Structure 1
Amino acid sequence: MVVWERPEPPRRPAPAQLSRERIVRAAIRLADADGLEAVSLRKVAAALKAGPMRLYGYIATKDELLDLMIDAVYAEIRPAGDGWRAVLRSLAETTRQAVHEHEWLADLIGGRPQLGPHALARGEAVVSALGGVGVDLVMPVVAAVDAYVIGTVRREIAERRAERATGMDTKQWQHAFGPYLERTFATGRFPALATVVRDAAHLDADETFRTGLDCLLDGIEARISR
Structure 2
Amino acid sequence: MAGADPERLWLRPAEPRRGRKPSFSRDAITEAAVALADAEGLDAVSMRRVAGAVGAGVMSLYSYASDKETLLDLMVDQVSAELPTSGPLTGDWRADLKAMAHLQRDHMLRHPWLPAALATHRTPGPRVLAFLEHVLAALRPSGLDGAGRLEVFAQLTAFVAGHVRHELAQTQGARSPERVAAEARYLATVAQDGHHPELAEALSAPRRPTDPDATFGRFLNRLVDGLNTD
TM bucket, shorter chain:
0.7 to 0.9
Once superposed, what is the RMSD of the aligned Cα atoms? 2.3
Structure 1 counterpart of 2:47, from 41, 44, 52: 41
Query: Structure 2: which amino acid aligns with 1:151?
Result: G
Equivalent position of 2:26 in the other structure: 20
In the alignment, is residue 82 of structure 1 matched against residue 90 of structure 2? yes
The answer to whether 1:60 aligns with 2:76 is no
Runs of 5+ unmatched residues, structure 1: none
Deviations 1:62-83 (A, max 9, x none): 1100011111122222265422
TM-score by length of 2: 0.83
Q: Tell whether 2:151 aligns with 1:140.
A: yes
Amino acid at match of 2:166: R
Structure 2 counterparts to residues 28-177 of structure 1, below 5 A:
28-78=34-84, 81-83=89-91, 84-132=93-141, 133-135=143-145, 136-163=147-174, 168=175, 171=177, 173-177=179-183
Give ranges in structure 2 of 5+ residues lacking alignment: 1-6
Q: Would you say the 8 A contact 2:105–2:160 is kept in 1?
A: yes
Paired with 2:217 and 2:181, the residues of 1 have a C-alpha distance of 26
Q: Does 1:219 align with 2:226?
A: yes
Cα separation, partners in 2 of 1:213 and 1:8, compared to 1, 3 Å? same
**1:137 partner letter:** G
Amino acid at match of 1:134: L
Moved more, 202-211 or 32-41: 202-211
How many residues get paired? 216
Q: 2:202 aligns with which of 180, 196, 202?
A: 196
Fraction of identical pairs, as percent: 37
Q: Which residue of 2 aligns with 1:206?
A: 213
- 1:77–1:110 distance in 2 versus 1, CA, 3 Å: farther
SS at match of 1:78: coil
State the Cα distance separating 1:22 from its structure 2 match.
Answer: 0.7
Counterpart CA distance in 2 for 1:198 and 1:32 is 41
State the distance in 2 between where 1:215 and 1:124 align: 24
Find the aligned partners of 2:41 and 2:178 in 1 and give their Cα distance.
26
Q: SS at the partner of 1:200?
A: coil
Report the 3-state secondary structure (helix = DSSP H, G, I; strand = E; otherwise coil) of the residue aligned with 1:129. helix
Structure with the bigger RCO (C-alpha within 8 Å, sep 6+) is: 2
Deviation, structure 1 residue 189 = 2.1
Change (3 A) 1:162 1:88: same
C-alpha deviation, 1:23, in angstroms: 0.5
Give me the whole-angstrom Cα distance separating, in 2, the residues matched to 1:161 and 1:189: 34
1:130 partner SS: helix
2:11 partner SS:
coil
State the SS of the aligned residue for 1:188.
coil
Q: TM-score, normalised by structure 1?
A: 0.84
Give, as a single letter, the amino acid of the residue that structure 2 aligns with 1:105: L
1:172 Cα deviation (Å)?
5.2
After superposition, the C-alpha distances for 1:105-164 in whole angstroms (9 at most, x for unaligned) are 12122445441001100110011122232315322322332232222122212323323x
CA contact (8 A) 1:85 1:217 kept: yes
Aligned with 1:9: secondary structure?
coil
